Structure 1
Amino acid sequence: MQLALFDLDNTLLAGDSDFEWGQFLISQGVLDRELHLARNLQFYEDYKAGTLDIHAFLEFQLKPLSMHARSQLDAWHDLYMEQKVRPMMTDKARALIEKHKANGDLMVIITATNSFVTNPIAREYGVEHLIGTVPEEVGGEFTGRVSGVPSFKEGKVTRLNQWLAERGQKLEDFETTWFYSDSHNDLPLMKMVQQPVAVDPDPQLKAYAEENGWPIMSLR
């Protein structure tokens, strides 16, 4: 069996679902534009620079989930998918997924973005398995806190190993392992697979990929 791992934001998507969720809530009047826009932009810049404080970001990003009923959040998410996400889903990304599906590979989207935002996106792409940062729930409603290890940087390695262990597997069991990502934040996991692929990479990842002879591709 072979394992294909995909980052989501700026890899399978031509944009960032986490950032766009915040922008969507601002556009709907759910979040105050003046209070939230600058912080949303700053967190996004920190992420690109590799300096993101993941816990501070998650406190900021998950709080709105705790302030509204799940039914309302689901309704907003349907509109968000239509307005923000589907325009970021590229034909080349779909073709890559279909290529691995046709090969019978085990496919996983692994993302730092929380699973409330990303589960419907994974389903839209036809990828059964998602490893994302998990927002804590009590009685079906979100608390605004994180459950477990955030799926970010080294946390992606931890979460993948946990997920495989639950299946009675480990990374070494697979004949071939791929990980497609755009971000230098994903280097801890990219270094662990047999076939790391830089997808529309940021400058830091592009330089590392060129230095180490990794393939570079575009899904745009």
Structure 2
Amino acid sequence: MRRPSELLLRFTRAERWVHRTTAALMLICLATAACLYVPPLAELVGRRRLVVTVHVWCGLALPVPLLLGLASRALRADVSRLSRFTDADWAWLRAARTRAAERRAGKFNAGQKLYAQWTLGSMLVILGTGLLMWLTHLAPPAWRTGATFVHDWLAAAIAVVVAGHIRMALRDREARRGMRTGLVDRRWAEREHPEWERSAG
């Protein structure tokens, strides 16, 4: 049994709720997209109209958890951390490139920041292109064709990146515990996020 002093609060309840809800919506969008575009899955599932409806509404809801979560001071602070690179982040990228063991990192390392920024950007693009495809009166046919192309290929890229994210999470039990309970072991924080561990007290 760990003593309370050995644990650090990494994520509040609001932050965990935003992560879980966004992840659930994203996975539903990817699963329904697969059912729409992969013929064997489309035949297995059927009910195309229902699948399209679920896909559209989950896609429209994607930004909602983050927007609601911004009411949380802790989430706003993390958004600020994720949105800017520091000297430690550039050092982390150099260390990752050379496979150095020691990598300086704050609460989030450079890889996590890049993933978060890419996810937010791709979410906005996928939402915008989806709206052009869904609301056909908003744009001429040429725009809708371009939107369909971007939407489909970006969805494939998102699937690959999300799979990589899940793979990384499966390799780090303590990081998963932090997202599940909000608490992490101080020794893990000292090893993986030393600058944050020191500032966390």
More helix by proportion, 1 or 2?
2
Query: Is the TM value for this pair above 0.5?
Result: no
More strand by proportion, 1 or 2?
1
Instruction: Sort the TM-score into its range (normalised by shorter chain).
Output: 0.3 to 0.5
Bigger relative contact order (CA 8 A; separation at least 6): 2
Compute the TM-score of the two structures, normalised by the length of structure 2: 0.33
Return the index of the structure with the highest Cα Rg: 2
